[in-house]
Each structure stands twice: as C-alpha cells, then as structure tokens.
Amino acid sequence: MSSHYEAPIREPLVLGEKSYHDISVDVGAPVLGKANKSWWIVFTIALVAFLWGLGCIIYTISTGIGVWGLNKTIGWAWDITNFVWWVGIGHAGTLISAVLLLFRQKWRMAVNRSAEAMTIFAVVQAGLFPIIHMGRPWLAYWVLPIPNQFGSLWVNFNSPLLWDVFAISTYLSISLVFWWTGLLPDFAMIRDRTKSPFQKKIYGILSFGWSGRVKDWQRFEEVSLVLAGLATPLVLSVHTIVSFDFATSVVPGWHSTIFPPYFVAGAIFSGFAMVQTLLIIMRKVSNLENYITVLHIEYMNKVILLTGGIVTVAYITEYFIGWYSGIPYENYTYLSFGAATGPYWWAFWALITCNLIVPLSLWVKKLRRNIMWTFFVALVINIGMWFERFDIIVVDLSKDRLTSSWTMFQPTFVDIGTFMGTIGFFFVLFLLYARTFPVIAQAEVKTILKSSGESFKKLRAEHGDDASHVQTIEEYPADAGPSANVEGKHFKSVFDDSTEEDSEKNQVDFEQYRGKIDNLLSGIGTFDPAVHKQDDLKKISGVGPVMEQKLHQLGIFTFEQVSRMTDREYDLLDEIISEFPGRAKRDDWAGQALTLKNKN
Amino acid sequence: MAATKIHAIYTDDDLLMQAVKQTRAANYHISEVFTPFPVHGLDHAVGLAPTRIAITSFLYGLVGLSVAVAMMNFMMIHDWPQNIGGKPSFTYYQNMPAFIPIMFELTVFFAGHLMVITFYMRSKLWPFKKAENPDVRTTDDHFLMEVDADNHDVEKLTKFLYDTGASEISLIENEQDH
C-alpha cells in the first residue's frame, strides 16, 4: 500500500528481515534474558564510584562545605560546574523526544527511550549539587513558596536561582511523565511476553494495565504530541534560566546577553555527545545494531555539528566582544587573550580543542559514520563541555576586579569524589534501566517498520511501490492447528533436514483426519508459539526426524503435549499416522515426555 | 447489553484496516480494536470521535498561569513587598518581567501533568489496574477486532470475518461489562 511509501533514497532505519514479532523479541531480550559478565563488571565499577561519591557527600554534609576547595574569591566551582554540566546533558533527551517528534523525524524512535532515560538520570545528578551546596540539605524545602515561621517571609521570585528551582523541577517531572507514558505499551509487551510470574506481576503494575485499545492509542498519540509541544519550549527555558544564574550577575564574563541561546546550544551539544557515548555501547551490549544503526549515529553527529557550530560562533563572539569593549576586566574572562595565556591557559585550550577543533572532523562523512571515531569525539566533547562550565565559573571568578584577591582554585578529594560519585550514580541508574526497561520504543518502531524497514524497502524496490505489505500467510498446518502457527518462519527449522520431496511424501492428509486432529489436540492442548517453546521431540525414544515432522504437522510441539497422551490419544494418533500402530503406547511416549519435561 | 461478541484476530495492520472498513461497510458494529502499536488512521476508520485531550491541556495551562499570577501577586506584591535590587514592587505589572519565567514554568507544569492524569483516568490506566486485552499477542504482533454478534447470524458473521482475512475467530459469550 502506497501509504507506507518512503523515498528509496532514504536509508533504512531498521535493518535486516524484521517482522513486528522480531522487534518484540529483540527489544524484550535484554529484559527477559540474563545479564552477561560485562554488565556485572561495569555495574560493579559504577556502584563502587557511586558509594565513594556517597561517602564524600555524607562527609560534606556532616562537616560542612569547607571540605571543598572553595576560597573567598572562588565561591562557586566544581559543584555548579557539575550542576550545569549534568543539566546540559539532560537536554538531548528532550530534544530527541520532543523537538524531533514535532519535526516528524522517524530516526528518533530508536533512540528516544534511552535518551529520555539519560535526561532523567542526568537531571537527578544535577539536582543533587544545589541541594548539597545548600550545606543544610534537610532545609531544602525552604526553596519552596510555603508559609513559614518567619512571619511568612516568602522566597524571592525575582531571583534566577529560584527560577531554577521551578524550571528544574518542572523539567524533571514533565520528562518523567513523558517517558513513562511512552513506556506503558512497551511494559505491556514485556508483561504479555514474559513467562515468569514475578515479572508478569511487576510489569503488570508498571504498565498501568495498558491494553492497547484504539481509543487509548488515539489519546496516547495526542498526549505525546501535546507533551512534545510543551516540552520543546520547556527545554529551551530550562537552560535559558540556568544561564540567567550567570547572565543576571555583574561579574565580567558572566553578564553576557548571548548566554541563553548559547547555553541551550551547548547543552544540546553535550547531551548528544552523551547519547552517543551511551548508545554506541548499548547497541553493542544489547544486540540492537539493527535498530540503532550507523545512520542514527550519523544523524546525531549532524546535530552535534550544528550545535557545535553555534557554540563556536558564540565563543568567537565572546572573545571578540571582550576585546572590542576595551574594558580591562574583560581581558580576564574565560574567552580572552588573558585567559589563553594566563595561569588557566590549559583550561582555555582544553575548551577550544575539545569543543571547537575535534568536532570539526565530523564534517568528513567517513569519520561521521565511523563508530569508533564517533565514540572518541563524543568523549572529547563530554570533557570539553565540562571545561566550558569550569572556565565560565572558575576562570571568570579567579581574576575579579580586585587584583589583591586574585587566586586559583584547587579541588580537594571531596570535590573530585563527589563528581565521580555522580557519574557512578548515573551509570548505576542507566545500567539498571538497560536491564529492566524496554530500551527501544518498540511500539513506535513498529509504526515505521513498513516505511523504513530494510526488507520492506527492498520489497518495494523489487515489486514496485504498490506491492502489498500484508505479511505472507503460509497456512500451516493447513487450517487444522491453531492459527498462531500460521507464520511460516516459526517452523522453517522443521524442514531443514529434509528436502522438499520428503516433506511432500510425509504430509499428513489433514482434510481426511481433520476432526480427529482437532479431537487429539483438544485432549493434549494446542501449541502457541507466542507463549510456548518448542521442544526437541526426537529425544523421545521411538520418535525420529520423520515422526517428529509428522507430529509437528499435527500441531504437537512440546513434551507437555505428548505427556498428556492417554490411550484415547494413542488410538487417535495411530489412526492418523497409520505407519507404526501401537508404537507410541509401547514406547510409553507420555511417560518419557513427562521425564524430559521435568528435566527442562 | 451486548453479550455475544466475536473476536477476530489479524496478523497485519493493513489487513486490519481493510477488515475494519469492510466490517463497517457491512453494517456490523465494531465494539473494540486492540493493536500493538498506533495504526495510522485506525481511529478514523473505526469511527471514533477526535479526542479532546489537547483542549483540556490548554485549559489546564490557563489554570497554571492563573495560579502563578495569583501566587506571586499575593506573595511579592501584597503580603510582603520588598525592595530587591531596586526592582519595582508596587504593582504586579511593574514587577512582571521578573515573574515571566515562573509564569511559564507553572503553565507548562499544570498543562502537562493534569493532561496526563486526565489521560490515565479516561483510559483507565493506573498501577494495579488489570490489563484487559483479551489476547496477550495483541501487545506483540497481533491485531484483535471485537465485533458485536447480537442480532446477527453468527455463522454468517464468522464467514464474513474469515473472508476479511482474519486468521483466528472466536465467539465470546456472556462477557462481563466494564
């Protein structure tokens, strides 16, 4: 049907011969399977880092902020650097899920779930820093506008720091419901596919009883669209407000009017770098290379190029204006000749190298599509964007208007430990997520399968744009068995060891015995490939490949079915397959199958 | 109340769309359709009215905006006016530029959360709610169409559904209303 048409020049977004069922299987696999060794190793490292950071946080809170390397001149350093860095990283998730939804970009569907997860986990890390920085985090509720014992002295709504409180909490909570609403159908898929009763219960609760009614889907799509419309200005507002923390001050280098757009671009820049870092690993570990393809990586690299370009222009503007203003104080801001040659020259050049020079390599298509190089560039950008915030905060403060108070910042082990701890915490959350959540929005990917799937694109290339996309139905076993057995691919393996002619000869005449087959199956139960697993019936002595094939044709696939056979079923079987009368009973197939079933 | 229904299962979205159109053209009543993913145009084909949830979101946004204005007007202008950095605090209007970020944030907060809560309530989605899809495969790759069989010849309807490409047809009797 032509409604699935997509220009052939567009590369496929889903590789391989995938059916809807394959998508469920591939997305469900990391959740339903067991964790491998590398997962445990990385998880342990992350957990150790997290616990170390937790120790540093407890030490800070119990002793006081004095344990950090702050001094009288530099009263903000790593804590706010880390805060802005983490908030910035969060922005890519919302950009992918909201802005790209409004632009109807199909490639977002494979990456939005993980990007949103990254957003939420990153904002959680970001939120920690202002709370720790309060010094007395148990009084954190003072930032809320609630009546209090000081004659109702309200919070200051003129302050960008309070705007931050509202912006970050709105951002976190809206991202969370956006994420969760999108997760409902995917949790439901896991709930309906898992065999473990425990998982069924848990995912039943998590999926909120999602049933997939047509009305639910209609509302779901509308809600997603409206949330995307709300989240788009929201994400722009969040980093705008974060930049106000600096831009509304009077510190040279901070009170810059280009901060809002420049911070937003920088946030998306660093966020996409983090998405690349995470997804390049995840697609490999969770075997999702067919869904998160090189094309996805290239698209994200293009966003990095664009936002990196905006950031570059902003840097040059800052540098130029600092010089052009002729104000001597401006010569000590983080983007100035003074900074490039001063004591923080290494921080200045780290910023320039990581954010300006290295990303330029992505203009080369070969490098943009090179996964290893992309991974390297993403790491470099992550570092560079951390330095950007460090430079803005520490370099600008280190040389203020009073020459006598010029100083440097020296982080203590607590500063470093807390930062490492949040990285550990972030990865702990992300790794747990990767094992328990459907990491790809499978319901959404299914909607683009026919337009952007490789096999469907091939189908159209070979048979014209009007080729039917209705899955070919191979009626098998005729119409005697349950229709869940229809899809040819489930049974391909059955015929692998016999040629076409053999199987022709071995065909059971269904029409003749139809009633009896139904009767037989009603006694032993039907096989449903969606919930049952096929057993190797050849393990039963007396069942060879030919007999197994015949049993399969009748719709018997599992030990469980065979084990339910009684005299009545043996007789029916003998009537249908007349070659070895009495054999099944003599060999006691039911008893054997019961033993084999219990062994499994 | 409809007591007899027929569940017809399809294995393809295009097939389902075609079947829905044929079933409606033949004047059978489709009481529900369960799909594993949003099938484009299905709501229209089934004959559902457009959802009004976006309108509720707009109204909730207005509520959020009003709450923000009322809150800051009370706290910053009337209850405890302060001179903060020389910003005028005599009227709300004069002090408003500083209040715009929070007016915006609260608008979004109310519009987003209340809309999602409305969606969950209207579609009956909440923790510990039991799923109601009649076949577990409808969250994977199967599409289920539920047709009212009251006042219809079941044999004829079954034959009709079979001809629309249904791969599995089952008669459901005395289904509980919910």
ipTM: 0.93
Note whether B178 contacts A: Cβ–Cβ < 8 A: no
Lowest mean pLDDT among A192-206, A326-340, A433-447, B100-114: A326-340
Clarify whether residues B21 and B58 are in a common domain. Answer: no
Q: Are residues B32 and B74 in the same domain?
A: no
Domain count, chain B: 2
Same domain, B84 and B110: yes
- Per-residue pLDDT of A264-299, as tens digits, reads 999 999 999 999 999 999 888 888 889 999 999 999
B73: containing domain = 53-122
Banded model confidence at residue B174, pLDDT cuts 50, 70, 90: low
CATH number where B14 lies: 3.30.70.120
What pLDDT, in 10s, does the model give residues B129-169? 898 888 888 998 899 999 988 888 888 999 999 888 888 89
| B87 lies in the same domain as B30 | no
Q: How far is B151 from chain A (nearest CA, A)?
A: 24
Type of residue found at B151: N
Q: For residue B41, is it within any domain?
A: no
Q: How many CB atoms lie within 10 A of CB B171?
A: 12
Are B12 and B61 part of one and the same domain?
no
**B9 falls within a domain:** yes
Give the distance from residue A203's alpha carbon to the nearest chain B alpha carbon, in angstroms. Answer: 10
On whether residue B10 sits in a domain, the answer given is yes
Residue of A nearest to B84 (CA): A158
Q: How many CB pairs under 8 A join A and B?
A: 231
Q: Are residues B78 and B110 in the same domain?
A: yes
Is A211 in CB contact (< 8 Å) with chain B?
yes
pLDDT at A471: 55
Q: How far does the CA of residue A337 sit from the closest CA of chain B (Å)?
A: 33
The answer to the question of residue B135 being in a domain is no
**Would the pLDDT of A468 be above 80?**
no
Place of tokens 């069922």: A21
> A447 and B131: CB-CB below 8 Å?
no
- Residue B167 placed within a domain: yes
Residue B129 belongs to some domain of the structure: no
| B67 and B114 both lie in a single domain | yes
Q: Do the chains contact at B128 and A205, CB–CB below 8 Å?
A: yes
Burial of A464 (0-12, 13-18, 19+ CB in 10 A): exposed
**SS3 label, residue B147:** strand
Q: Is the predicted pLDDT of residue A491 greater than 50, yes or no?
A: no
**Residue A47: both structure tokens together:** 């957990």
Which chain A residues are closer than 8 Å to B39 by Cβ?
214, 217, 447
Q: Has residue B48 been placed in a domain? A: no
Chain A, 19-38: which have a CB under 8 Å from a chain B CB?
19-21, 24
Average pLDDT, chain A: 85
Q: What is the mean pLDDT of residues A70-93?
A: 91
Q: Is the pLDDT of residue A381 over 90?
A: yes
Residue A100: which residues within 8 A CB-CB, separation 6 or more? A107, A108, A112
Nearest Cα residue in chain B from A1: B14
Whether residue B109 sits in one domain with residue B58: yes
| Nearest chain B CA: its distance from A304 CA (Å) | 27
Answer yes or no: are the C-beta atoms of A16 and A445 closer than 8 Å. Answer: no
Q: In what order do the strands lie in the sheet with B168-172?
A: B30-34, B143-148, B5-10, B168-172
- Is residue A186 within 8 A of residue B124, CB to CB? The reply is no
Residue B44 lies in a domain: no
Q: Which pLDDT score is estimated for A496? A: 42
